Structure 1
Amino acid sequence: MVITVELRKLYKYPFETVVDSHLNKYPTPLEQNITAVRTAEENTDLSTGIIYRRRIATCKNVIPAFLRQISSLKTASIYLEEESWLDKRRRTMSIKSRCLTWAKYATLKEESMFKASQENPNWTEFTQCGSISVTGIGLLNSVFEVFAQAFLNQAGRRSIRIMETILQEKWGHPFS
């Protein structure tokens, strides 16, 4: 079974400000589960100006201890890959993320988009759709999927709160 999670947020800050905050928000004391982010690759397409980045995030293993009794789940860190395409001309940034750890047991993907709002050019629309499917753990597949769905919902909402906090601390009150 595939579990999906969808989030939407309108940031009342300009696109460039929101994207900069996204690219620099981790690690932060506001999120204890993400311990490091490193850029593995970055290049600019000279014909389009699109900036491609591939980043690897190191996260704490958040799987409950009783589930970590399975030997392959006892790892201390989880690695996530984020690929992004920033188009400054069109004021859009698309992102694809996936879990690198446990790829043979589960597929965890997120697709996100930041774009300048059509309602107000000083605002930024954010959408995210995530999915998870667990296939390699037999009878525990559905237990992991339920945990993952709850975790993805919480993590997504926490990420939005962190962005709002960073934006307010760095740039002040939202634009109207």
Structure 2
Amino acid sequence: MVQKYQSPIRVYKQPFELVMEAYERRFPTCHLIPMFVDSEVLEETESEDGSIHQVQRRCKLDVDAPRLLKRIAGVDYVYFSQENTLNKRERTLHIESHNETFSNRVIIHELCSYSAHPENEDWTCFEQSASLDIKSFFGFESTVEKMAMKQYASSIKKVCVPDLIRVIFIRH
């Protein structure tokens, strides 16, 4: 059964460019997001006029799962592929992510979007959706499904853009 998550639209009272700078500084790691262990840029391109910037990353996550489940699965970390398209002219960032680890058993797909607020150019909107489809997971399908969605929703609440901006810009 496919589990779906759709966040409400969040509005950050910071300009798009500041939010993007803070977002970029999260890579390759960010101490404010402890489950985000590492990332590697696989491909990066920019349009001739510099208005479109595309990045493909491989991200390493330390998922908060029971030790027994990690042992059964034979992994300590999970890997995700992430493709970002930043359009500086339109002031949008589209992020598409999917899992590499267990992709034959579990399909995780996430879409995120940052954009300048339509009524206030000094604010930024954020939207997020995700789906989880567990095909087979050693007989633990229901448990893994519930745990994954619970952790996903919990991790989203922990990462606050204004906090990232404050900490990142104070430290640099």
Give 1:57 shift.
1.2
What residue number does 1:33 align with?
A: 35
CA RMSD for the aligned pairs? 1.9
Within-5 A mapping of 1:1-176: 1-7=1-7, 8-26=9-27, 27-46=29-48, 49-70=51-72, 73-137=73-137, 139-159=139-159, 161=160, 163-169=161-167
TM-score by length of structure 1 reads 0.87
Question: 2:138, 2:78 → 1: CA distance?
Answer: 21
- C-alpha change, 1:154 and 1:108, in structure 2 (3 Å) is same
TM-score (norm 2): 0.89
Distance across 2 between alignment mates of 1:13 and 1:47 = 26
8 Å Cα contact 2:6/2:129 also seen in 1: yes
Flag the 1:138–1:74 CA change in 2: closer, same or farther, 3 A. closer
Closer, same or farther: CA 47–141 of 1 in aligned 2, 3 Å: same
Query: Distance between the aligned counterparts of 1:109 and 1:149, measured in 2?
Result: 12
Alpha-carbon distance in 2 for matches of 1:47, 1:19:
19
Unaligned segments of structure 2, at least 5 residues: none
Counterparts of 1:170 and 1:101 in 2: how far apart (Å)? 30
How far 1:112 sits from its partner (Å)? 0.5
Amino acid aligned to 1:58: K
Structure 1 residue 170 displacement after superposition: 5.1
Q: Distance in 2 between matches of 1:64 and 1:84?
A: 31
Question: Which moved further from structure 2: 60-69 or 141-150?
Answer: 60-69
Identity, % of aligned positions:
23
Partner Cα distance (1:14, 1:69) in 2: 44
**1:125, 1:76 → 2: CA distance?**
34
Per-residue Cα deviation, 1:87-135 (whole angstroms, up to 9, x for no partner)? 0000011110111111111001110000000121000000000111101
User: Does structure 1 retain, via aligned residues, the 8 Å contact 2:25–2:168?
Assistant: no
CA distance in 2, matches of 1:29, 1:171: 14
Judge which range, 43-52 or 25-34, deviates more: 43-52
Deviates more, 1:109-118 or 1:14-23: 14-23
